[in-house]
Structure 1
Amino acid sequence: MVGALILGAVVTADVTGAAAASDPDGAVERHRDASLVRTDKGAVRGTVTRTARVFQGIPYAAPPTGHRRWAAPTPATGWDGVRDATKPGIACPQAGLLPPVGPASDDEDCLFVNVTAPRNASSGSRPVMVHLHGGDHTDGEGAMHGAERLAARGDVVVVTVNYRLGALGYLAHPDLETRGESGNYGFLDQQAALRWVRRNATAFGGDPGNVTLFGQSAGGYSTCAHLVAPSSAGLFHRVILQSAPCTADMGRRDRESALTQGVATAAGIEREHGPDDWRTALPGHLVNPFGTGPEYTPAYGGRLLPHTPQEAFATGRFNQVPVLQGINRHEERGRVYGLELAKKAATGDPDARIDQADHYARLREEFGEEKAPLIAERYPVSAYDGSPALALAAALTDGNWARHSVDTGRALSAHVPTYAYEFADDDAPWYADPNYRKPDFDVGAAHTFELPYLFELEAYASLTTTQRGLAHRMIRIWSDFARTGRASWKPTTPVAPNVQSLASGPGGIRPVDFAEDHRYGFWRTLR
């Protein structure tokens, strides 16, 4: 299996001896040492680049197969010799029909972490940043997020995580309750990865007493869950939330709804794929393409997650650590383009566009018959260069994201140091694959588009020289926060969001009136 090759001790000794014989000054030996780390389960050999040391495909838990499916993760088995950590481990099962989001996989042996450290971090005690990938809790993998630039420029140790997805990670069902609380297996995987970090960070030059948990979208909503989970206490010391305002409804399910959803999903699996027990279905029958099928998020209301973020923040009953949180200025433009593509496919018309009727129908669907006319009046198409798509995206961004970002910051700031940002680079890179054509309207700083500024991602076009400057500044902001728990601008307060705009070019990083720009006062009147 990729990322799981075991090298024998005899071979290792032979290579070492040969290197020493041909390199009397010891340069190869020093290079070999930099690529070798001993974890609590055995030694791993990674890759040393010009700026970083990269270790991939390290198991942090046993494969969740057989009797371990539908159960909390169990410890990984140790190994003899040196394990090859130069290639990623397999991604968790997912359909993979949208390659920028995640690769296709049907292999459940997928619970791996990847560690990237500065090249000189074999010793020392650097901040550790643990990243949870996005992808709707149905797609994605840790290895997609190359972290060499973040690790080297930020002088931090970065850990990216695979966790169970789709039904395998988040299906709750009464038949599974005899084995413990069902429906949050992916979340439990993340906890196991954080415990692995606590045991092993020092070996990679990291400080287990200074761990920042951060995630984008689904990974950010998972981070919200860790903020309020009693059993996650002490596993991290700072939090960064990217496009995941914790108080939004979209980031969670209540336990009763999750169980009802699980019963329906299980019945559908048996109906579609035959009479066999759904619990033993093939992995491919337990995942669905990105953006389709059941909504999978952490389920609240049981022992693991007894309180929602709204409840926990209101009472102060959460894991109180400093928080950096924000959204992208044009979050919903990407989804609106997806609606446009769906219209093209449904009509067979390659020139189909989102029109004013589509704009109003989506407002009714999202916000209800009573509120839709008020929102349409507040976001007239005429104010957006006559573009129904841009008018719809602005309303959806402000109603679904911005108001909750303000609420989240205010609620958190009553208890912990909280800093707010808005990623606002209007010309952020589009996808690299030529099959993904840009829409006719400007996509701007849409959902996920901040990621190539922090990570190396093959799915996106290259950054320009100016954008690389913003990337360096964002890495400094993220890593400084991981190091100190502070940002360079005023923190949020219960009455003032104090949001910093992050964009490229002169004056691109500056304070903005986020609440005014996103019509927060208007949305408060609609509650």
Structure 2
Amino acid sequence: MVKKTTRAALPLALALGITATATVSGACGGREKPARVSSVVRTDAGLVRGVSSGDVRVFEGMRYAAPPSGKRRWAPPEPVESWSGVRDATKPGAACPQTGLTPPAGPRSDTEDCLSLNVTTPRGKSAAARPVMVYLHGGDHTDGEGAMHGAHRLSAQGDVVVVTVNYRLGALGYLAHPALEQAGRDESGNYGFLDQQAALRWVRSNAAAFGGDPDNVTLFGQSAGAASTCAHLVAPSSAGLFDRVILQSGSCLDEENVRTRSEALRAGVSGATGIEKTHGLDDWRDARPAQLVNPFGQGPAYGPVYGGELLPRTPAEAFAEGEFNKVPVLQGFNGQEGRAGAYAAEEMKKAVTDDPGARLDEGDYLERLREQFGEESAGEIAARYPVAAYRDSPALALGEVLTDSHLGRLTVESNRVLARQVRTYTYTFDDRETPWYADEETYPKPSFPMGASHTFELPYLFELEEIAPLDEAQRALSEVLIRTWSRFARTGTTDWAPGTPSSANARSFASGPEGLRSVGLAEEYRFGFWESLPASRS
């Protein structure tokens, strides 16, 4: 029974961009643990002790803001108080409160003393300060933590300083409610976003102490982390906090990631019905985090709120008006993103039918098309993506539809508007033989190949302990990705030409001798077809 529940939840983890727990540091597979030697650094608030391990130094659980509890709950983050002596930074800080319902998310946490970050920096000295890369994790703004992503390889091979961040999640990070508006806070619904800004300010102030260049900061994120990065790209108050951005599996033009203030307030009022036995804001501030996480639920109720002084324009509006933080952009997605959705559909069928061997059939495929795209378009889509063309696999056909209709289409559109105004590079991650979970008993492989599905590029950049080790070809591709990401962080360029408004000029990454190639993005992901459908035009 437990394993069936875990398996049913796994597709949500795939769809939300949540990965596995990471090691503090280690070799390429993330499993070797070199000898650890104490290393002390002075931050602007006091001394911290991390460890030198192998070819990196690691500092974990460093507070960048005061605990957001009590009167600080649903308020902008406040500076951490300075200290005397040396604070321990040898283990991760607590994850911010979250449901933990999407394994393998961050641990279920009931402490709000969670605004910490982790720094991984190369051990050797450098003639020049190193680029800094600040990573925002995925997890639908409800789950995850910075320490899930071990940055040993990225830091050592890329010769960069990597920072991973915890920020408030769910209702504690993104609740918008009239009671908070009445308190005179335009920030209602954006507390997690404000935490990220505080972390970026910490990086500007402290990067040099870790060998980093405070004037060369790349902000990057995956899935919900990419959506947050988009918000910083258009936030006036984020200007000057970073110098380039990388967007992994998240388009700035994705309307699913845009909450208007009115929508967010309605969602907050609706969610509050789950805690009506309390008597308003003061009681909410005294409630345990667990009392607030579940009533407000999961999913699209959370994320940055647009409309107001903090985020006056949506990304689409900001790009159209040319009012955004104009820095170089590297954007992209995984070539089989949508297979996570197909896997979720198949796992749901197993749960509903109580049949562990259930598979999607052609009727399920057509029903999904009608549900998502409407009766009028479903027939056209089924004709363009016939099951027979996908090894007679409805799951593979559905995965292709979900990839092309969503991030394939949106990335072409994003390039069109961004390439007119900033240097914009586009990639696709297309490795078809990606690693699965090491524990296949708990996480059985699906009935069809997942390929480069949602989140599956992450083990090539980070150490993820529960994922099977990379093989030789995958390790070689990992080195290419790290070289590309770190070059962009260092120079704001890649080794292929930027896109133009008429062509993304995308680079495809896969393992093997023919793995690197140019991609006609609009053609490969059938942009013209999707643009022609009524659902795409509405």
- TM-score normalised by L of structure 2: 0.89
After TM superposition, the structure 1 stretch with the greater mean CA deviation from structure 2, 443-452 or 340-349, is 340-349
Residue identity opposite 1:145 in structure 2: H
Determine whether 1:223 maps to 2:229: yes
Cα distance in 2 for partners of 1:277, 1:364 equals 45
Determine whether 1:43 maps to 2:47: yes
Cα distance in 2 for partners of 1:500, 1:228 equals 26
**SS of structure 1 residue aligned to 2:216:** strand
Q: Structure 1 residues 375 and 504 mapped into 2: Cα distance closer, same or farther (>3 Å)?
A: same
Does structure 2 conserve the Cα–Cα contact (< 8 Å) formed by 1:453 and 1:468? yes
Determine whether 1:211 maps to 2:186: no
Determine whether 1:83 maps to 2:87: yes
Quote the residue 2:308 is aligned against.
Answer: 302
Cα distance in 1 for partners of 2:61, 2:127 equals 22
Quote the residue 2:190 is aligned against.
Answer: 184
Residue by residue, what CA displacement relative to the aligned partner does 1:232-268 show, whole Å, maximum 9, x if unpaired? 0000000000001111112221111011001001112
After TM superposition, the structure 1 stretch with the greater mean CA deviation from structure 2, 472-481 or 175-184, is 175-184
Residue identity opposite 1:422 in structure 2: T
Cα distance in 2 for partners of 1:219, 1:170 equals 14
Quote the residue 1:147 is aligned against.
Answer: 151
Quote the residue 1:110 is aligned against.
Answer: 114
Does structure 2 conserve the Cα–Cα contact (< 8 Å) formed by 1:98 and 1:290? no
Q: CA deviation at 1:98?
A: 2.9
Q: How does 1:72-471 map to 2 (within 5 A)?
A: 72-121=76-125, 124-177=128-181, 178-181=183-186, 182-270=188-276, 277-288=283-294, 292=298, 294-434=300-440, 435-471=442-478
Residue by residue, what CA displacement relative to the aligned partner does 1:400-455 show, whole Å, maximum 9, x if unpaired? 11100111112111100000000000011112232111111111000000001001
Q: CA deviation at 1:278?
A: 4.3
Q: Structure 2: which 5+ runs fail to align?
A: 1-34
Cα distance in 1 for partners of 2:381, 2:125 equals 53
Q: CA deviation at 1:153?
A: 0.7
Residue identity opposite 1:127 in structure 2: P
**SS of structure 1 residue aligned to 2:276:** helix
Cα distance in 1 for partners of 2:331, 2:127 equals 31
After TM superposition, the structure 1 stretch with the greater mean CA deviation from structure 2, 495-504 or 355-364, is 355-364
Q: Structure 1 residues 121 and 364 mapped into 2: Cα distance closer, same or farther (>3 Å)?
A: farther
Cα distance in 1 for partners of 2:362, 2:98 equals 35
Cα distance in 2 for partners of 1:273, 1:385 equals 58
Cα distance in 1 for partners of 2:296, 2:430 equals 26
Aligned Cα RMSD in Å?
2.2
Q: Structure 1 residues 243 and 390 mapped into 2: Cα distance closer, same or farther (>3 Å)?
A: same
**SS of structure 2 residue aligned to 1:443:** coil
Does structure 1 conserve the Cα–Cα contact (< 8 Å) formed by 2:416 and 2:501? yes
Residue identity opposite 1:180 in structure 2: R
Aligned counterpart for 1:500 among listed residues 486, 495, 507:
507
Q: Structure 1 residues 344 and 333 mapped into 2: Cα distance closer, same or farther (>3 Å)?
A: same
Cα distance in 1 for partners of 2:352, 2:279 equals 26
Q: CA deviation at 1:287?
A: 2.4
Quote the residue 2:73 is aligned against.
Answer: 69
After TM superposition, the structure 1 stretch with the greater mean CA deviation from structure 2, 266-275 or 56-65, is 266-275
Cα distance in 2 for partners of 1:319, 1:450 equals 27
Does structure 1 conserve the Cα–Cα contact (< 8 Å) formed by 2:62 and 2:89? yes
Q: Structure 1 residues 518 and 31 mapped into 2: Cα distance closer, same or farther (>3 Å)?
A: same
Q: CA deviation at 1:120?
A: 1.5
Q: Structure 1: which 5+ runs fail to align?
A: 1-27
Does structure 2 conserve the Cα–Cα contact (< 8 Å) formed by 1:328 and 1:423? yes
After TM superposition, the structure 1 stretch with the greater mean CA deviation from structure 2, 265-274 or 245-254, is 265-274
Does structure 2 conserve the Cα–Cα contact (< 8 Å) formed by 1:123 and 1:204? no
Does structure 2 conserve the Cα–Cα contact (< 8 Å) formed by 1:106 and 1:283? yes
Q: CA deviation at 1:364?
A: 2.3
Cα distance in 2 for partners of 1:413, 1:448 equals 26
Does structure 1 conserve the Cα–Cα contact (< 8 Å) formed by 2:47 and 2:86? yes
Query: How many positions carry a matched residue from both structures?
Result: 497
Residue identity opposite 1:523 in structure 2: W
Residue identity opposite 2:98 in structure 1: Q
Q: Structure 1 residues 108 and 179 mapped into 2: Cα distance closer, same or farther (>3 Å)?
A: farther
Does structure 2 conserve the Cα–Cα contact (< 8 Å) formed by 1:138 and 1:289? no
Cα distance in 1 for partners of 2:199, 2:103 equals 25
Residue by residue, what CA displacement relative to the aligned partner does 1:41-85 show, whole Å, maximum 9, x if unpaired? 100000101110000000000000000001111111111100010
Quote the residue 2:517 is aligned against.
Answer: 510
**SS of structure 2 residue aligned to 1:442:** coil
Does structure 1 conserve the Cα–Cα contact (< 8 Å) formed by 2:69 and 2:285? no
**SS of structure 2 residue aligned to 1:426:** coil
Cα distance in 1 for partners of 2:151, 2:40 equals 19
Q: CA deviation at 1:31?
A: 6.0
Cα distance in 2 for partners of 1:379, 1:127 equals 44
Which of structures 1 and 2 has the larger relative contact order (alpha carbons within 8 angstroms, sep 6+)? 2
**SS of structure 2 residue aligned to 1:501:** strand
After TM superposition, the structure 1 stretch with the greater mean CA deviation from structure 2, 174-183 or 50-59, is 174-183
Q: CA deviation at 1:335?
A: 2.2
**SS of structure 2 residue aligned to 1:129:** strand
Q: CA deviation at 1:95?
A: 1.7
Cα distance in 2 for partners of 1:271, 1:363 equals 42
**SS of structure 2 residue aligned to 1:421:** strand
Does structure 2 conserve the Cα–Cα contact (< 8 Å) formed by 1:410 and 1:493? yes
Does structure 2 conserve the Cα–Cα contact (< 8 Å) formed by 1:136 and 1:291? no
Q: CA deviation at 1:365?
A: 2.4
**SS of structure 1 residue aligned to 2:375:** coil
Cα distance in 1 for partners of 2:282, 2:61 equals 33
Quote the residue 1:14 is aligned against.
Answer: none
Residue by residue, what CA displacement relative to the aligned partner does 1:487-506 show, whole Å, maximum 9, x if unpaired? 10111110011010010111
**SS of structure 1 residue aligned to 2:469:** coil
Residue by residue, what CA displacement relative to the aligned partner does 1:151-200 show, whole Å, maximum 9, x if unpaired? 11111100000000011111100100124120011000000000000100
- TM-score normalised by L of structure 1: 0.91
Q: CA deviation at 1:277?
A: 4.1
Aligned counterpart for 2:487 among listed residues 466, 477, 480:
480
Residue identity opposite 1:61 in structure 2: A
